């Protein structure tokens, strides 16, 4: 077996992985990226609408800063996020976007003078300042107090990924394409690389590294209806779980995006609504204003998705041969706006629906979109349980999204995490802990274990079909672990998934084609996907409250008293049928923003006794500070700057500031 | 419109696929025929997956986003290179012939190694912003201003998804394997337009001022005709050729 040595092995070639690799390389360490597909085809490219960073350049963004971005993100998370990490994120996002601007991303820019916008169904004229001309502009997104989503038309992720990939090529960082990590190599305490399968030849090889970074994105494909790329099967999170040591955080926190097109489930961006588009029902009537009088179509995604499903359940959906749906109307935005700022949306409508969104309504219904949960890490991206294992981006839970991510915060997270976690891995390699004392026997042992697993599948005769069981898993997740959850249905889901797991012990192949063999790929991924699905379903069943995207019809209130806790899932015994769930408390007494009403969604929640205590404490601290500036006030409430890499601690300049 | 467009009558499609597995010493290229019931809003993504799941599990093809944005699924569909994921079967005749994109290394059946080709092109043409002190850029201070119209012009060329359809449709690329293709020339046009890139025409001339670059193009226009993103490739190549001719004097 071939063994390849490097300092930092990055698993995943999307925005987070590539940005992390660039940091590592700049610090003088060797790195290799593994990618299931050519790196520029990663799912990061599918991000359409924007990247949140509080630049505050355009009129709609006036007065924006890290404080607003922080507060929006924490409210969006329904207080599930780690507030210190959210602070690190909000502070770094403007730096990340300015770096990308220097590297070549053609961000849309502010045009001085008057221009027309669409707000609340009406045209309005606003005027941009001359001083802002040519600076990076932003658009409105859900759950935010300011226009903060910086964008490149509606191909933001594509432009970011191409620029970053090209910089990685310039830095001479090798991307080993069509390579899949099957297992992490570890000795119980220390992770030191991965066993990898070549998806062209089928060959097994080992990569041995001081630090290993999971940056494999989300696991949306455990659901039938998902906006995710078909490669988003969560294998990075699954191999971390299969170490039996590293744990996954908040796996039940699954986001459903309000506007997946029907029936394909392909995403049309939140920018449709951010730019002024409306949601209509079967009578072509706008309904979000009835449910959410303040934020209307631009409440957070969890709230809008839930209201849409409620409206369909109340009988106002459009009935089609593909099931019920609602309409998205962007006709009012006009042809020039759509042809410049929503061109991917126009293409998607044309090719997949045969309609023109300038003339026609777009059929939409919420679809699985994002995994807030993932490999649990500390604020620098390292697994607290398994040294040398790091994670960044959607595959990680470090955790800035809590129970609901705001639109535009995912691509922002990828690059910010890449910057911070990349640096953290370089520090690790430089430290005494980074030294590698592994014997190649360990790598051989893990390789032989994986080879035996594959051989067992190949040798099995007359067993189950992986394609069939995968479909059953996806149906179960979409039907029973979706937007509206209920104890009884969750129990049924767990039972079905366990049954599928038992059946998946006897998978067999109809084809033994040499090479990658797509049927074998489906077969070895299925048991891992089932483990992730069980983490989601069990987490959802145990969590007897509603928080963010996790909504329990039988426990509709957010319960801070019992559930201000992060779910941690481990799978120590490979023979076990279920994950072991434990909980880690979020400490209100250390929060800068204690729990409260989000400004949209339900008003009703069960308070934690610490909330009022902490609020009083905050009020006293701030009263004592008098006229101190916002940075000092923030630092007095919840210091975070000491957690940042030193070169990222500078203050972000804004228009009109020195 | 008050309903999702769909066909009332479903046909039985005959899908013929050019098959070969280079990792199987016994494999010989052959056209294999599959029959499939058409469904509402069926795309070739759905059709090929159904064939793999119900008829032949060894069938190889590449899809990633299945939304027409990642460029993975370029293939020859009834003689024309196109993205399979966004090709609706209702727009195709009863017989559909699929073949892998030519000019790229074959991985198996409809799967080709566009990634390797594109990485090679990027390394050769240095498709990144070249600027002094890029590593020391101050990311705390305001970004440099850029004309809004220029940013949009750059994005227009940046929309390329490196799917390889233009290379498959190119006469020169079929004859000269070192030709950088419209995809490569478009990249040069993109960085040439970008004021952040400090390279001059003399630098670009070194990269594309020969037969394997802009002077290899025979202006057959297959690239522009087949580009799934409707990029203005012919105009970019013509303009670049003029600039490079001047730079070469």
**Alpha-carbon gap, residue B76 to B93, rounded angstroms:** 15
Q: Cα-flanking dihedrals φ and ψ of residue B80, to 5°? A: -120, 135
Which residue of chain B is at minimal alpha-carbon distance from A160?
B158
Q: Across the interface, do B161 and A158 touch by the CB < 8 Å criterion?
A: yes
What distance in Å separates residue A42's CA from the closest CA in chain B? 7
Half-sphere exposure of A216 (CA within 13 A, CB side): 29
**Alpha-carbon gap, residue A347 to B202, rounded angstroms:** 38
How many residues are given for chain B? 249
Residue contacts between A and B (CB atoms, under 8 Å): 240
Catalytic residue numbers of A, as ranges: 257, 273
Q: Which residue matches tokens 């079909």?
A: A465
In this prediction, what percent of chain A has a pLDDT beyond 70?
100
**Alpha-carbon gap, residue B32 to B13, rounded angstroms:** 14
Q: What is the pLDDT of residues B40-79, one digit of tens each?
A: 889 999 999 999 999 999 999 999 999 999 999 999 999 9
Who contacts A353 (Cβ-Cβ below 8 Å, separation ≥6)? A261, A362, A363, B4, B5, B41
What distance in Å separates residue B35's CA from the closest CA in chain A? 19
DSSP A9-35: EEE--SHHHHHHHHHHHHTT--EEEEE
Q: Across the interface, do B148 and A108 touch by the CB < 8 Å criterion?
A: yes
Q: Is the dihedral of CA A47, A53, A55, A61 positive or negative?
A: positive
What distance in Å separates residue A510's CA from the closest CA in chain B? 7
- Is pLDDT at A157 greater than 80 in this prediction? yes
Q: Cα-flanking dihedrals φ and ψ of residue B97, to 5°? A: -110, 125
Put simply, whether B128 touches A (Cβ < 8 Å) is yes
- Is pLDDT at B4 greater than 80 in this prediction? no
Question: Counting Cβ atoms within 10 Å, is residue B9 exposed (0-12), middle (13-18) or buried (19+)?
Answer: exposed
- DSSP at A549: T
pLDDT of residue B40: 84
As a whole number, mean pLDDT of residues A510-517 equals 91
- Give the max Cα distance, chain B: 63
Q: Is the peptide bond before A263 cis (omega within 30 degrees of 0)?
A: yes
3-state DSSP assignment of residue B181: helix
pLDDT of residue B7: 65
Which tokens is A225 given?
A: 């209806």
- Opening angle at CA A283, ends A279 and A284, nearest 5: 35
Which residue of chain B is at minimal alpha-carbon distance from A360?
B1
Give me the residue from B21, B119, B196 closest to A102, CB to CB.
B196
Q: What is the pLDDT of residues A178-203, one digit of tens each?
A: 999 999 999 999 999 999 999 999 99
As a whole number, mean pLDDT of residues B103-126 equals 97
User: With contacts defined as CB-CB under 8 Å, which chain B residues touch A108?
Assistant: 148, 151-152, 155
User: With contacts defined as CB-CB under 8 Å, which chain A residues touch B58?
Assistant: 511, 513, 517-519
As a whole number, mean pLDDT of residues B18-33 equals 96
pLDDT of residue A42: 98
**Alpha-carbon gap, residue A614 to A594, rounded angstroms:** 7
Q: What is the pLDDT of residues A452-465, one digit of tens each?
A: 999 999 999 999 99
Who contacts B9 (Cβ-Cβ below 8 Å, separation ≥6)? none
Q: Across the interface, do A111 and B152 touch by the CB < 8 Å criterion?
A: no
User: With contacts defined as CB-CB under 8 Å, which chain B residues touch A135?
Assistant: 142-143, 145
Q: Across the interface, do B70 and A45 touch by the CB < 8 Å criterion?
A: yes
Q: What per-residue string of b and e applies to B232-241 under the rule 16 or more CB within 10 Å gives b? A: ebbebbeebb
Q: Is the dihedral of CA A483, A484, A489, A490 positive or negative?
A: positive
**Alpha-carbon gap, residue A257 to B140, rounded angstroms:** 33
Q: Across the interface, do A263 and B108 touch by the CB < 8 Å criterion?
A: no
User: With contacts defined as CB-CB under 8 Å, which chain A residues touch B65?
Assistant: 41, 43, 45-46, 229
Q: Across the interface, do A104 and B122 touch by the CB < 8 Å criterion?
A: no
How many residues are given for chain A? 658
Of A209, A425, A261, the closest CA to residue B43 belongs to A261
User: With contacts defined as CB-CB under 8 Å, which chain A residues touch B184?
Assistant: none
Q: Which residue matches tokens 């940042």?
A: A644
Which residue of chain A is at minimal alpha-carbon distance from B158?
A159
- Is pLDDT at A149 greater than 90 in this prediction? yes
**Alpha-carbon gap, residue A449 to A291, rounded angstroms:** 54
3-state DSSP assignment of residue A224: coil
Q: Is the peptide bond before A108 cis (omega within 30 degrees of 0)?
A: no
Q: Across the interface, do A519 and B58 touch by the CB < 8 Å criterion?
A: yes
- Is pLDDT at A658 greater than 70 in this prediction? no
Q: What is the pLDDT of residues A355-383, one digit of tens each?
A: 999 999 999 999 999 999 999 999 999 99
How many CB atoms within 10 Å of residue B39? 16
Overall pTM > 0.90: yes
Give me the residue from A137, A170, A347 closest to B128, CB to CB.
A170
As a whole number, mean pLDDT of residues A614-635 equals 95
Alpha helices in A460-542 (DSSP H): 466-480, 487-503, 518-542
Q: Across the interface, do B143 and A655 touch by the CB < 8 Å criterion?
A: no
pLDDT of residue B10: 78
Residue to mutate among A39, A350, A509, A515, with most B CBs inside 10 A, is A515
- pLDDT range class, residue B8, cuts 50, 70, 90: low
Q: What is the pLDDT of residues A52-64, one digit of tens each?
A: 999 999 999 999 9
Put simply, whether B196 touches A (Cβ < 8 Å) is yes
Would you tell me which residues 59-98 of chain B have a C-beta closer than 8 angstroms to some C-beta of chain A? 59-60, 62-72, 86, 88
CB A370 within 8 Å of CB A410:
yes
Would you tell me which residues 202-231 of chain B have a C-beta closer than 8 angstroms to some C-beta of chain A? none
Give me the residue from B131, B134, B151 closest to A109, CB to CB.
B151
**Alpha-carbon gap, residue B85 to B48, rounded angstroms:** 10
As a whole number, mean pLDDT of residues B205-212 equals 96
**Alpha-carbon gap, residue B37 to B42, rounded angstroms:** 10
């Amino acid at each position: 077996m071939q063994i390849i040595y490097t300092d930092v092995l990055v698993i995943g070639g999307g925005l987070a992985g590539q940005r992390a690799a660039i940091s590592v390389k700049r610090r003088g360490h060797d790195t290799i990226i593994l990618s299931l597909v050519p790196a520029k085809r990663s799912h990061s490219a599918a991000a359409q609408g924007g990247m949140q960073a509080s630049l505050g350049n355009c009129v709609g963004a006036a007065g924006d800063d890290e404080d607003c971005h922080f507060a929006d993100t924490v409210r969006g998370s329904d207080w599930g996020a780690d507030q210190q990490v959210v602070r690190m994120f909000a502070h770094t996002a403007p730096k990340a976007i300015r770096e990308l601007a220097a590297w070549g991303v053609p961000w849309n820019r502010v045009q001085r003078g008057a221009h027309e916008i669409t707000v609340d169904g009406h045209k309005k004229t606003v005027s941009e300042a001359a001083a802002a001309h040519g600076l990076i502009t932003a658009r409105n997104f859900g759950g935010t107090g300011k226009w903060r989503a910086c964008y490149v038309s509606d191909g933001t992720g594509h432009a970011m990924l191409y620029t970053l990939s090209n910089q990685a090529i310039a830095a001479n960082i090798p991307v080993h394409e069509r390579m899949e990590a099957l297992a992490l190599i570890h000795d119980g305490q220390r992770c030191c690389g991965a066993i990898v399968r070549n998806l062209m030849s089928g060959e097994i090889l080992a990569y041995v590294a001081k630090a290993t970074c999971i940056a494999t994105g989300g696991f949306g494909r455990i659901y039938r209806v998902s906006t995710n790329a078909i490669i988003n099967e969560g294998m990075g999170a699954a191999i971390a779980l299969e170490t039996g040591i590293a744990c996954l955080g908040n796996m039940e926190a699954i986001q459903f995006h309000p506007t997946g097109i029907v029936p394909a489930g392909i995403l049309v961006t939140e920018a449709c609504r951010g730019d002024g588009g409306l949601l209509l029902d079967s009578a072509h009537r706008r309904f979000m204003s009835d449910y959410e009088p303040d934020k209307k179509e631009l409440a957070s995604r969890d709230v809008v998705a839930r209201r849409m499903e409620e409206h369909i359940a109340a009988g106002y959906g459009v009935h089609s041969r593909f099931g019920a749906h609602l309409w998205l109307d962007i006709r009012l935005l006009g042809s020039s706006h759509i042809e410049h700022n929503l061109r991917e949306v126009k293409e998607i409508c044309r090719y997949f629906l045969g309609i023109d969104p300038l003339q026609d309504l777009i059929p939409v219904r919420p679809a699985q979109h994002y995994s807030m949960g993932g490999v649990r890490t500390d604020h620098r991206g390292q697994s607290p349980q398994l040294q040398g294992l790091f994670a960044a981006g959607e595959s990680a839970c470090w955790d800035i999204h809590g129970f609901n991510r705001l639109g535009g915060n995912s691509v922002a997270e990828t690059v910010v995490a890449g910057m911070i976690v990349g640096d953290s891995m370089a520090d690790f390699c430089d430290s005494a802990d980074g030294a590698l004392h592994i014997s190649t026997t360990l790598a051989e042992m893990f390789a032989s274990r994986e080879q035996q697993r594959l051989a067992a599948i190949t040798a099995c005769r007359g067993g189950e079909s992986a394609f069939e069981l995968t479909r059953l898993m996806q149906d179960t997740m979409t039907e029973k672990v979706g937007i509206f959850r209920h104890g009884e249905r969750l129990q049924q889901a767990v039972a079905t998934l366990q049954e599928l797991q038992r059946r998946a012990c006897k998978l067999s192949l109809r084809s033994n084609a040499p090479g990658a063999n797509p049927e074998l790929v489906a077969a070895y991924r299925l048991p891992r996907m089932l483990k992730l699905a069980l983490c989601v379903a069990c987490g959802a069943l145990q969590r007897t409250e509603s928080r963010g995207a996790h909504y329990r019809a039988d426990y509709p209130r957010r319960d801070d008293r019992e559930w201000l806790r992060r779910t941690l899932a481990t799978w120590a015994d490979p023979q076990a049928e279920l994950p072991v769930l434990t909980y880690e408390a979020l400490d209100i007494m250390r929060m800068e923003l204690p729990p409260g009403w989000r400004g949209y969604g339900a008003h009703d929640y069960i308070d934690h006794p610490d909330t009022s205590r902490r609020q009083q404490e905050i009020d006293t601290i701030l009263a004592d500070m008098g006229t101190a500036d916002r940075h000092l006030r923030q630092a007095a409430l919840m210091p975070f700057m000491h957690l940042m890499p030193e070169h990222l601690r500078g203050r972000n300049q804004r228009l009109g500031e020195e | 419109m008050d309903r999702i467009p769909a066909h009332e009558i479903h046909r039985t499609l005959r899908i013929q696929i050019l098959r070969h597995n280079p990792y199987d010493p016994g494999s010989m290229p052959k056209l294999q025929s599959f029959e499939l019931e058409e469904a509402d809003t069926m795309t070739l993504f759905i059709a090929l997956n159904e064939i793999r799941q119900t008829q032949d599990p060894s069938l190889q093809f590449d899809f990633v986003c299945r939304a027409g944005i990642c460029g993975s699924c370029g293939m020859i569909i009834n003689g024309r290179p196109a993205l399979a994921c966004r090709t609706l079967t209702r727009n195709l005749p009863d017989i559909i012939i699929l073949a892998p994109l030519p000019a790229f290394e074959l991985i198996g059946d409809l799967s080709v190694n566009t990634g390797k080709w594109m990485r090679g092109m990027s390394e050769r043409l240095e498709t990144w912003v070249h600027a002094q002190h890029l590593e020391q850029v101050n990311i705390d201070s305001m970004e440099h201003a850029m004309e809004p119209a220029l940013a949009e012009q750059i994005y227009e060329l940046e929309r390329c998804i490196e799917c390889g359809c233009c290379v498959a449709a190119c006469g020169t690329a079929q004859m000269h394997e070192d030709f950088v293709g419209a995809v490569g020339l478009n990249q040069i046009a993109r960085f040439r337009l970008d004021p952040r890139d400090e390279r001059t025409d003399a630098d670009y001339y070194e990269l594309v001022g020969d037969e394997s670059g802009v002077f290899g193009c025979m202006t057959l226009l297959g690239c522009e005709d087949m580009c799934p993103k409707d990029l203005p490739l012919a105009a970019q190549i013509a303009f670049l050729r003029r600039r490079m001719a001047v730079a070469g004097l």
